[in-house]
Structure 1
Amino acid sequence: MSSGFASKDKELPLAELVALVPDGASLGLGGSFLHRGPFAFVRELIRQEKRNIEIIKQSPGYDIDILCRAGVASRARCGIVAMEGNFGLAQWYRRAIEKGQLELEEHACATLTAGLRAAAFGVPFMPCGGVHGSELVRVNDWKSIGDPYGSGQQTYVIPAISPDFAVIHASSVDRLGNVRISGTYHWDRIMSRASKSVLVVAEEVSGENFADQPELTVVPYFMVQNYAIVKNGAWPGSCWPSYPIDYPAVEAYLEDGAQALARHIDAAPEAKAAEARQHG
């Protein structure tokens, strides 16, 4: 991390935060399925017409689906991909795979996590159990190594995975950029440690002194490059305990056609807030 990451002035508008991501970058996205994903950030990638973006996430859904739909994502390393049980498969993601528009390195959640751990721990690979007999081993040409301590067991090892940016939606940050997440943080912690840089979208800047309870900080300020404040930025997903999934909004997103996509993006909280500022 550069010394500039220690700056106390890390807050940027959402558009400027997203502008830090160049075309061709790899993004490790936080959250899981429709829960606390960095969805305002994802929609801003579409508004800025980013291209050739790689998505890395154990359990994406809406985020990778809308990025495939808008032509932003061209590569992915993912585990399970779905819109969750209420909505079935991620249809635009599936179409992108079938049409050859998205290059996929398919993982299990555990193997992707192993690759991230390898990067976080500074080693070239990480052992991972549970993949013996899986076609993923053959498809990805993963190697196995023998136990150097003589048990005779063979263990598959997953190459290190280091995204250019981890992008996390947080419950709150303090002015320094320390990150707190209410409830489960899914794979966000290991994603932040594996990535070359961390960008954060948070619901609010907290006035609390985070140093009083340092154990609640999921990502410390010195790992955070910049952050933006976007209220309801995980919409149409949830951000516990602040708001639940907006099921009608997800259903509206799933409608076919460019106009349905445009209406969905224009209905997002960050778009409405920007419009209000413009007319305020």
Structure 2
Amino acid sequence: MSSGFNQKQKEVSIKELAALVPDGASVALGGSFLHRGPFALVRELVRQKRKNLEIIKQSPGYDIDLLCRSGVASRARAGIVAMEGNFGLAPFYRKAVQSGALALEEHACATLTAGLRAAAFGIPFQPCGGIHGSDLAGLNGWKKIDDPYGTGESVYVIPAIEPDIAVIHANEVDSRGNVRVLGTSHWDRIMSRAAKRVLVVAERVAENEVFTEQPEVTLIPYFMVQAYAVVPQGAWPGSCWPHYEIDYPAVESYLIDGNDALQAHLDAAPEAIIKELI
């Protein structure tokens, strides 16, 4: 995969990183619900008034809700969508689906993962169990094939899902663009392998020695990363273990309806309150 960037040019501002996402792109967003999502970049897409994005994620919440609320997203392939137990369903996402403003291809987390795996492996489809009896297969036109090894069983196969861009929020990145995530990586690994390009938002820059001495900690190698931005607390109002937890009052404030409440939320974001975006 060619990044199109010289290695020394990979670090950019969050504004420049978001500018690499064109209108109409399909974008896979890392993290899960309110945990380690690339929310600083999502907010910057809103500020830059991006349009007609397709969002791909197994368990989105705040991110897709914000993009629907601001009119940035018009299509989605997603599994469960919620603001988690404290807040219930994602209200602006739900309104967008009900009104037809968002065209939804509904998935189970497993089926979306199967489609991403197919793209990562360079094959047209991926078998997926657990779909028999679900309406999802009929709604999406998924095909079922017989076991070619003669057991008499059949399995649904999910077509490949190849996002234009995967955006990952990481704990650390080094100067070359190697990416490290602490704790669970959710579906970030398979997203990065399935997508045509990878953009990264990181909490901090780590020394190259961390990656050369412990290569097993590298979730995404540098040659797959087009560009990255360093934004401390970039997953706010969500968590990024072990650096910070969910900011529950900030999520509650976000859920207040109205343009003034939305603008106040954007203005309160960590990347917005510093004088110069980094």
The answer, yes or no, to whether TM exceeds 0.5 is yes
Matches within 5 A, 1:1-280: 1-2=1-2, 4-5=4-5, 7-209=7-209, 210-273=211-274, 276-277=275-276
Distance 1:217 1:6 in 2: 20
1:38 touches 1:233 (CA, 8 Å); kept in 2?
yes
Letter in 1 for 2:261: A
1:164 touches 1:195 (CA, 8 Å); kept in 2?
yes
Distance 1:46 1:144 in 2: 39
Consecutive unaligned residues in structure 2, runs of 5 or more = none
Percent of matched pairs sharing the same residue: 71
Distance 1:277 1:120 in 2: 37
Tell me the SS of whatever aligns to 1:277. coil
Q: How far has the Cα of 1:208 moved from its partner?
A: 4.5
Q: How far has the Cα of 1:56 moved from its partner?
A: 0.1
Distance 2:4 2:166 in 1: 18
Distance 1:174 1:5 in 2: 15
String of CA shifts for 1:94-142, please: whole Å, max 9, x gaps: 0000100000000000000000000000000000000001000110010
1:9 touches 1:176 (CA, 8 Å); kept in 2?
no
Tell me the SS of whatever aligns to 2:4. helix
Distance 1:71 1:48 in 2: 12
String of CA shifts for 1:55-74, please: whole Å, max 9, x gaps: 00000000000000000000
Letter in 2 for 1:123: I
Distance 1:54 1:39 in 2: 16
Q: For this pair of structures, how many residues does the alignment match?
A: 276
String of CA shifts for 1:163-207, please: whole Å, max 9, x gaps: 000000000000000000010000000000000000000001112
Consecutive unaligned residues in structure 1, runs of 5 or more = none
Change (3 A) 1:277 1:19: closer
Distance 1:138 1:37 in 2: 31
1:81 touches 1:90 (CA, 8 Å); kept in 2?
yes
Distance 1:155 1:86 in 2: 37
Distance 1:10 1:112 in 2: 30
Tell me the SS of whatever aligns to 1:77. strand
Q: How far has the Cα of 1:8 moved from its partner?
A: 3.4
Q: How far has the Cα of 1:7 moved from its partner?
A: 1.9
Distance 1:184 1:9 in 2: 29
Q: How far has the Cα of 1:4 moved from its partner?
A: 3.5
Letter in 1 for 2:189: R
1:6 touches 1:221 (CA, 8 Å); kept in 2?
no
